[in-house]
Amino acid sequence: MEHEITEQDGALIVGFSGDVDLQSSPDARKILLECVARKMPVLVDLSKVNYIDSSGIASLVESLQTARKAGGSLLLVSVSEAALRVLELARLDKVFTICGTIDEGLASL
Amino acid sequence: MEKTTVQSSAIGTYEERISGHLELLSTMGQDFATSLDIDETLRQGLARITDYVGAEGGALFLLDEKGEKLTCTACVGETEITGLTLNSDEGIVGRCVQLDVGEIVRDVSTDPNFQNSVDAQTGYTTRSILCAPMSVKEERIGAIELVNKRTGDGLFDEHDLHLLRSLSSSAALATKNARMAEALVEQERVRRELELAAEIQRGLLPDAGDDSFPIHGVNCPARTVSGDFYDFFPLDDGRICFNLGDVSGKGMNAALLMAKTASLFRCLGKTIHQPGRLLSMINDEICETVTRGMFVTMAGGIYDPKTGIVRLANAGHEPPLFYAGDGSFKAIPAEAPPLGISPLLTGDDGIPEIEFNLDGGTLYIFTDGVTEGYLEDGSELESEGLMKILVDKAADPVMARLQTVIDCIHRKNVALRDDLTLLAIDDGLNKAERPEQTDDRETMATENIFHVNFPSQPDRLKLVRSAVFDTAKMCGCSETVARDIVIAVDEACQNVIRHAYKGSPDGKIILDISRDGDSIVLSLRDFADPVDVDRVKPRELDDIRPGGLGTHFIREIMDEVDFLTPPEDDGNILRMVKRIE
């Protein structure tokens, strides 16, 4: 799993690529929670995620909860088909705000 | 009412007096026997005797229910004291009632028990009193008091007391009869209300299905209403939701809590299909409103006629018995306290669930009224007795089995000790309609496609995923289905690494993929300590802890998921089947 963090229009964009699985999800969790702690809106770009498992989903949920508790926001943008399937299986596709592109995500903030 | 013709007793010969007494008694006896208004009849009787004895006034006092106060309920003469209340040991009336002896007080001024406060209030001068107690056997009811004789020497005599006693005895009896009649009417009213309540309660129980329906229940209340209940209803997906509960106590309060709990289950059970979460929600609801000290034990679950699988949650209820058909029973003990005790006790996860396959067997849920019911010889049926009947009658239709149990305890003319309730989920007929999976497995040719042996290390999962994806496609799965299968296998491997091997990297995992007719079969073998299959359950979706969510994914994706016991009884085998469309 690789990741990249950029800042745009006062928001943090975290892009993951590759597989977010049992091996890499502890790193993904750490990265997400650090971004949330910066008190800026967080857009998680999942367009390059080939695979995400239940532990990766758990990291996303934990980050969303942490952000909401602090009054912040966390959205998912450009969710790949593989990631969307797992979100659907977990019935979380309605829990997260999911936007088609980064621009749509920024506009919705 | 006819005016009395009886004349004063002081006049006439002894014979005339006796005849006059008898006539008076007979008139009053008739009045008492025919009266519908006891107060009015007592007032008339008092007037007759006051007149007959020739007293200036008369008063009738009744003792209250607690025996603490005497109240004047009827009064004749110049002074009106109706409503006057005395302590039950106060005054001459009080003494008369306490000692249950009639008395003549010729001169009240020399009697320390005389209450002259009434005279002080009314300006009347009481000189002489005749008082007779009203009692039936040992039961004190009140007393009749006459004051100041108008005729003769102005003094009451033994004849007067004798006569008054006759009146007071019949007045006492009439009062007691009237009270009993009133109590009977009240009892009858309560009985009718209870029957109405029982009718509504019976309406809460589900209609019995025909013999082909897999779930049957029976409920016999020990009293008119019951604290027990059961219910079952089909869900949209063909599964059947069922429950059986027992409210502490047996009276109307238990019946009302039963109605509430049963309604909550039926209403919430239609949308919440996780029995543990459902029971936990009912617990919270009951805790908010229940009367202190009342609670409900409940076993509730969902049965799938297509697979025979039952998911069950047990909150403090008598362990249900699962009969596999081979003569042995398995008890399923409660994993949580009864509902209504504390919202904290059922935990965040809800009440733990147990999932198992009936596989043609029967699950029996029952209340302790059954196991603690008395048999003809006075002993209790107990679980052993219940199991014996169920084995002996195993060939009977399910309803007949339940009836046999009930008949043992609920015999003619024998009062039940407690409500009796039984529910049976019988998978026998549904199992007969399912294809014989076990035999298929053994007889049908299976084609081994892929076999891999790898260590319990997270970094190997990427390799496994890629192999599974390609193998699934090779078996004819679409890309979408192949991707789903990858998710299921990946999560299953994670569970082995994290839970079976507890993170140790030295564990050995074997994955076998084969094709079996139109299905792809994936077997995952580990060599860790056997897992308690009953405890592997999908967690709630809002509980995102790893492991639970993964198990949910596996069950969502796969058509069949079974834990098998390896041949050497070492480790675990998870067998997952996905039908290829």
- Is residue B4 pLDDT above 50, yes or no? no
Kindly state whether residue B392 falls inside one of the protein's structural domains: yes
Length of chain A: 109
In contact, B264 and B317? CB cutoff 8 Å: no
Least confident of A77-91, B231-245, B541-555: B541-555
Cα distances (Å, whole numbers) of residue B239 to B217, B242, B302, B577: 17, 10, 7, 20
Cβ neighbours of B498 in A, within 8 Å: 22
Residue B31, pLDDT above cutoff 50: yes
Q: Does A22 touch chain B (CB under 8 A)?
A: yes
The predicted structure's pLDDT at residue B292? 65
- Do B553 and A55 lie within an 8 Å CB cutoff? no
Q: Average pLDDT in the B390-417 region?
A: 87
Question: Which residues sit opposite B130 in a β-bridge?
Answer: B104, B146
pLDDT bin (cut points 50, 70, 90) of residue B8 is very low
Counted across chains A and B, CB pairs separated by less than 8 A come out at: 61
Instruction: Report yes or no on B195 lying in a domain.
Output: no
**DSSP symbols for B216-282:** EEEEE-SSSS-SEEEEEEE-TTS-EEEEEEEESSSSHHHHHHHHHHHHHHHHHHTT---HHHHHHHH
Which residues of chain B does A21 touch, with a Cβ-Cβ cutoff of 8 Å? Answer: 458, 461-462, 465, 490
| Residue B91, Ramachandran bin (φ over 0: left; ψ between -120 and 50: alpha; else beta) | left
pLDDT at B349: 64
Residues of A in contact with B553 (CB under 8 A): 54, 86, 89-90
- pLDDT at site B365: 96
Do B399 and B518 share a domain, yes or no? no
Return the axis-axis angle of helices B382-392 and B398-409, rounded to nearest 10°.
140
| B293 Cβ neighbours under 8 A, 6+ residues apart | B248
B535 secondary structure, DSSP code: G
Average pLDDT over residues B42-53: 87
**pLDDT of res. B543:** 45
Asked whether residue A87 is assigned to any structural domain, the reply reads yes
Bridging pattern class, strands A97-99 and A74-77? parallel
Residue B188 lies in a domain: no
Among B483, B494, B545, whose Cβ lies nearest the Cβ of A22? B494
From CA B339, how far away is CA B355, in angstroms rounded? Answer: 21
Cβ-based burial of B439 (10 A; exposed 0-12, middle 13-18, buried ≥19)? exposed
B88 confidence band (pLDDT: 50, 70, 90): confident
Contact B494 A91 (CB under 8 A): no
Does some domain include residue A29?
A: yes
- Judged by phi (left if over 0) then psi (alpha if -120 to 50, else beta), residue B396 lies in beta
Same domain, B382 and B523: no
* pLDDT tens column, B493-519: 999 998 889 889 999 999 999 998 889
- From the CA atom positions of chain B, what is the Rg in Å? 41
Task: Give residue for tokens 């926001």.
Answer: A73
Does residue B300 have a pLDDT over 90?
yes
Tell me, yes or no, whether B296 and B270 share the same domain.
yes
Q: For B205-229, what is the mean pLDDT?
A: 87
Which residues in chain A have Cβ-Cβ distances shorter than 8 Å to B480? 85
Band (pLDDT 50/70/90 cuts) for residue B546 is very low
Whole-number pLDDT of residue B533:
57
Chain B: nearest CA to A93, how far in angstroms?
Answer: 12
Residue B8 lies in a domain: no
| Average pLDDT value for residue range B361-384 | 89
The top-scoring range by mean pLDDT among B11-20, B174-183, B359-368, B434-443 is B359-368
pLDDT at B347: 58
Q: How far apart are CA B434 and CA B157, in angstroms?
A: 99
Residue B240 lies in a domain: yes
Which two three-digit tokens encode residue B255? 């019946």
The nearest CA of chain A is from the CA of B539 a distance in Å of 11
A-chain CB neighbours of B459 within 8 Å are: 23
pLDDT band at residue B416 using 50, 70 and 90 as cut-offs: confident
Which of A36, A28, A94 is CA-nearest to residue A64? A36
Q: Do B531 and B566 share a domain, yes or no?
A: yes
Do the domain assignments include residue A32?
Answer: yes
The pair of structure tokens assigned to B394 is 């195993």
In DSSP terms, B330 is beta-bridged to B322
B325 has pLDDT over 60? yes
Is A35 part of a structural domain of the chain?
yes
When scoring B273, B481, B491, B544 by the number of chain A Cβ atoms within 10 A, the one with the most, hence best to mutate, is B544
Collapsing DSSP states into helix, strand and coil, what is residue B567? coil
pLDDT of residue B576: 94
Chain B residue with CA closest to A22: the answer is B458
Name the residue range of residue B514's domain. Answer: 437-579
B357 neighbors B438 (Cβ within 8 angstroms): no
> Looking at B379, B409, B433, which one is the last position of a domain?
B433
| CATH for B42 | 3.30.450.40
> Cβ of B419: how many Cβ atoms within 10 Å?
25
Residue B215 sits in the same domain as residue B314? yes
Same domain, yes or no, for B134 and B261? no
Mean pLDDT of B555-579: 84
What is the three-class DSSP state of A13? strand
Contact (CB<8Å) B546/A58: yes
Q: b vs e for B329-361, b when ≥16 Cβ sit within 10 Å of the residue's Cβ?
A: beebebbbbbbbbeeebbeebbbbbbbbebebb
Tell me, what's the pLDDT at B480? Answer: 92
- Do B117 and B259 share a domain, yes or no? no
Q: Are residues B365 and B455 in the same domain?
A: no
Contact at CB, A22 and B458, closer than 8 angstroms: yes
Q: What are phi and psi of A44, to 5 degrees?
A: -100, 115
Top pLDDT among B453 and B225 is at B453
Domain that holds residue A73: 2-99
Q: Which range among B105-119, B295-309, B339-353, B536-550 has the greatest average pLDDT? A: B295-309
For residue A93, which residues of chain B lie inside 8 Å, CB to CB?
Answer: none
Q: Counting runs of H as helices and runs of E as strands, what totals does chain B give?
A: 15, 21
User: Where are the alpha helices (H) located in B376-422, listed in sequence order?
Assistant: 382-392, 398-409
Lowest mean pLDDT among A68-72, B102-106, B292-296, B346-350: B346-350
Boundary-marking domain end, from B415, B433, B451: B433
Measured CA to CA, the distance from residue B487 to residue A90 in angstroms comes to 12
Closest-CA residue of chain A to B549:
A54
**Burial class of residue A19, CB neighbours in 10 A (0-12, 13-18, 19+):** buried
Looking at the DSSP bridge assignments, the partners of residue A6 are A13
Top mean-pLDDT range of B94-98, B194-198, B246-250: B94-98
CATH number at residue A52: 3.30.750.24
Number of separate domains in chain B: 3
Chain A positions in Cβ-Cβ contact with residue B462 (cut-off 8 Å): 19, 21, 23
Looking at residue B461, its pLDDT comes to 94
B252-278 mean pLDDT: 90
Q: Which pLDDT value is given to residue B181?
A: 84
Higher pLDDT, B355 or A11: A11
Q: Mean pLDDT throughout B290-309? A: 87
Minimum mean pLDDT among B17-26, B250-259, B321-330, B462-471: which range? Answer: B17-26
Highest mean pLDDT among A27-31, B223-227, B472-476: A27-31
| pLDDT value of position B2 | 41
Which CATH number belongs to the domain containing residue B459 in this structure?
3.30.565.10
CB contacts under 8 A, B 554-573 vs A, are 556-557
Q: Please count the other Cβ atoms lying within 10 Å of the Cβ belonging to residue B275.
A: 29
SS (H, E, C) B5-70: CCCCCCCCCHHHHHHHHHHHHHHHHHHHHHCCCHHHHHHHHHHHHHHHHCEEEEEEEEECCCCCEE
State whether B421 and B451 are in the same domain: no
- Average confidence (pLDDT) over B391-398: 88
Residue A104 domain-assigned (yes or no)? no
Q: Beta partners for B451? A: B512
Mean pLDDT, rounded, for B556-574 = 81
Higher per-residue confidence, B63 vs B163: B63
Say if B187 falls within a structural domain: no
Q: Is the pLDDT of residue B109 over 50?
A: yes
pLDDT confidence bin for B544, thresholds 50/70/90: very low
Q: Is B549 within 8 Å of chain A by CB?
A: yes
Residue B513 DSSP label: E
**Whether the predicted pLDDT of B328 surpasses 70:** yes
Identity of the amino acid at B507:
G
The pLDDT, as a whole number, for residue B3 is 43
> B85 vs A94, which has greater pLDDT?
B85
Task: Answer yes or no: is A70 within a domain.
Answer: yes
Touching check for B484 and chain A: CB below 8 Å? yes
CATH code of the domain in which B396 resides: 3.60.40.10
For residues B46 and B146, state if they share a domain: yes
* Residue A78, in any domain of the structure: yes
Distance from CA of B313 to the nearest CA of A (A): 23
Split into its structural domains, chain A has a count of 1
Q: B467 — contact with chain A (CB < 8 Å)?
A: no
B190 touches chain A (CB under 8 A): no
Residues in B touching A86 (Cβ below 8 Å): 487, 553
Query: Beta strands A11-20 and A42-52: pairing type?
Result: parallel
Q: For residue A107, tell me if it sits in a domain.
A: no
- Nearest CB neighbour to B461, from listed A23, A58, A89: A23
What is the average per-residue pLDDT within B436-454? 68
Residue B459 touches chain A, beta carbons under 8 Å: yes
Would you state the pLDDT for residue B159?
83
Chain B CB within 8 Å of residue A62 CB: yes
B176 and B229: one domain? Answer: no
Could you write out the DSSP letters of every residue in B318-370? ---EEE-SSS-EEE---SBPPBTS-TTTT-TT-S-EEEEE-TT-EEEEE-HHH
* H-assigned helices in B410-547: 428-433, 437-443, 461-474, 479-495
Lowest mean pLDDT among B48-57, B454-463, B566-575: B566-575
Say whether both B81 and B109 belong to one domain.
yes
Phi and psi at residue B560, to the nearest 5°? -140, 135
The confidence score (pLDDT) of residue A65 equals 87
Tokens 């039926």: give the residue.
B266
- Contact across the interface for A61 and B544, Cβ inside 8 Å: yes
Please indicate if any CB of chain B lies within 8 Å of the CB of A27: no
